């Protein structure tokens, strides 16, 4: 798949996401297409589980400090006859809350268990809320009765906002725990004001549900925006790559151009110097090309250059670099190629071009198009630069043209 097609597909994906984002702005509880919806909840669950893993130990310390401060305050603020009974219930609620957090922490750390996260966490929250609500609504002192309702509502808010469950799952857990709590209170004959029960169960769950929906709506927008930012980044990266390729590529032959070659050759030469491996450089010129253009026209001249470029591309192999250096001049850089093999490759290129029988009526060496090639090789031991190697190949090409063209000349050291 080429870069332009990739960019087009990414832009289409971006437009689809932008349409969904606009719909989300218009409707708070707008549902995404199935695949995107699943991805959103997976992403949200992953973020919250990572947060739980990071925050568990600091939260445990904070929880312990909270207990150490609140227990004495609760103990001395209630009537003496209720202290033993109510403090034991408060301790039970605190312990249950921490065990629920610990269970979710264990689930979050194990990747294999995460696929059961929703079911297990819904169950854990339902059970823990049932226990907390049952014990805190069973306290006997008036002071702790109101504090207990406040703790229950805070626990409900925390569960709705931080559990990672979908609102409907959390609502199910909250209402089921309310029913189980009512059954328990009825079983143990504990009377609680209907006003308190409605505040705790109905108001707590409704407020929690509303906050959860509002939070998730905001998270949906941020999720879509993050996808758009990611798509933009990918588009810009591909366009940057495309621009770089175009700036280093000859538009006619699709070979690397001189600018690209200078950068690539510098890196290549540094590599072979470090590895002390040979590097062959073939400097190639199309014989009497100006006369070819004058006789056959520039359009046919372009076709001839393309055929030469295609020939060089075939001989460049996987590690070679074929370059249109300018006009009718080409370069071919071959790694791990000693002089003998480099000259043999150059001869093969000459033969290939001859056998293509590209007519050249104005050539003084052949009735067909021919090439002159100068060959220079860096063996890995000479103390020369890449420019020295290029000059050696250029000088060898000059000698090939001087001695009659349509031939290969090797640089002599």
Of the candidates 305, 341, 344, 340, the one whose C-alpha atom is nearest the C-alpha of residue 325 is 305
The one catalytic residue in 186, 328, 329, 382 is: 328
Token pair belonging to 72: 């004495």
Q: Which alpha helices (H) appear in 110-203, and where do they start and end?
A: 117-136, 142-162, 167-187, 194-197
With DSSP H G I counted as helix, E B as strand and the rest as coil, what are the percentages for the chain, rounded to 5? Answer: 70, 10, 20
Give the C-alpha distances (Å, rounded to integers) separating 344 from 125, 193, 339. 78, 101, 8
Distance, CA of 163 to CA of 155 (rounded, Å): 11
| Cβ–Cβ under 8 Å, residues 108 and 49 | yes
CB 291 within 8 A of CB 242: no
For the beta carbon of residue 307, count every other beta carbon within 10 angstroms: 16
Q: Which residues contact 205 (CB under 8 A, 6 or more apart)?
A: 156, 171, 174, 175, 178
Looking at the DSSP bridge assignments, the partners of residue 410 are 375
- How far from 408 is each of 223, 233, 328, 387, CA to CA, in Å? 63, 49, 17, 21
Helix residue ranges, H only, 163-288: 167-187, 194-197, 204-247, 258-275
Number of helices (H), then strands (E), in the chain: 13, 5
3-state secondary structure of 181: helix
Q: What is the DSSP letter of 377?
A: E
Which residues have C-beta within 8 Å of that of residue 248, sequence separation ≥ 6? 256, 257, 259, 260, 263, 264
Give every CB contact of residue 123 below 8 A, 6+ residues apart in sequence: 173
Structure tokens at 292: 């070819």
Is 328 tagged catalytic? yes
Active site residues: 328
């Amino acid at each position: 798949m080429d870069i332009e097609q990739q960019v087009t597909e990414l832009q289409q994906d971006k437009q689809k996401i932008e349409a969904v984002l606009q719909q989300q702005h218009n409707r708070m509880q707008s549902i995404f297409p199935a695949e995107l919806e699943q991805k959103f909840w997976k992403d949200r669950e992953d973020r919250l589980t990572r947060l739980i893993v990071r925050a568990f130990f600091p939260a445990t310390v904070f929880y312990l400090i909270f207990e150490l401060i609140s227990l004495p305050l609760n103990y001395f603020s209630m009537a003496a006859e209720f202290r033993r009974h109510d403090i034991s219930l408060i301790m039970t609620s605190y312990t249950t809350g921490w065990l629920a957090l610990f269970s979710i922490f264990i689930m979050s750390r194990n990747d294999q268990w995460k696929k059961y996260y929703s079911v297990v966490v819904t169950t854990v929250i339902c059970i823990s809320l049932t226990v907390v609500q049952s014990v805190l609504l069973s306290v006997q002192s008036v002071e702790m009765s109101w504090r207990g309702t406040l703790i229950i509502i805070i626990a409900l808010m925390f569960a709705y906002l931080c559990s990672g469950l979908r609102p409907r799952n959390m609502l199910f857990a909250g209402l089921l725990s309310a029913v189980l709590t009512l059954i328990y209170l009825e079983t143990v004959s504990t009377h609680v004001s209907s006003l308190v029960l409605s505040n705790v169960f109905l108001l707590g769950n409704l407020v929690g549900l509303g906050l959860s929906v509002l939070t998730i709506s905001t998270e949906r927008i941020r999720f879509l925006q993050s996808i758009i930012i990611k798509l933009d980044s990918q588009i810009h990266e591909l366009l940057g790559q495309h621009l770089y390729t175009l700036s280093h590529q000859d538009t006619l032959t699709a070979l690397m151009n001189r600018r690209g070659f200078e950068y690539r050759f510098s890196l290549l030469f540094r590599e072979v110097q470090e590895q002390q491996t040979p590097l062959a450089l073939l400097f190639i010129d199309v014989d009497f090309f100006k006369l070819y253009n004058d006789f056959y026209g520039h359009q046919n001249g372009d076709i001839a250059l393309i055929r030469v470029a295609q020939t060089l591309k075939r001989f460049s192999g996987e590690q070679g670099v074929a370059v249109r250096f300018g006009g009718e001049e080409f370069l071919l850089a071959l790694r791990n190629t000693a002089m003998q093999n480099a000259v043999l490759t150059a001869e093969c290129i000459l033969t290939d071009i001859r056998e293509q029988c590209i007519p050249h009526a104005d050539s003084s060496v052949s009735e067909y198009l021919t090439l002159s090639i100068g060959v220079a090789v860096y063996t890995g031991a000479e103390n020369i630069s890449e420019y020295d190697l290029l000059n050696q190949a250029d000088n060898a090409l000059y000698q090939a043209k001087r001695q009659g063209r349509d031939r290969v000349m090797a640089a002599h050291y």
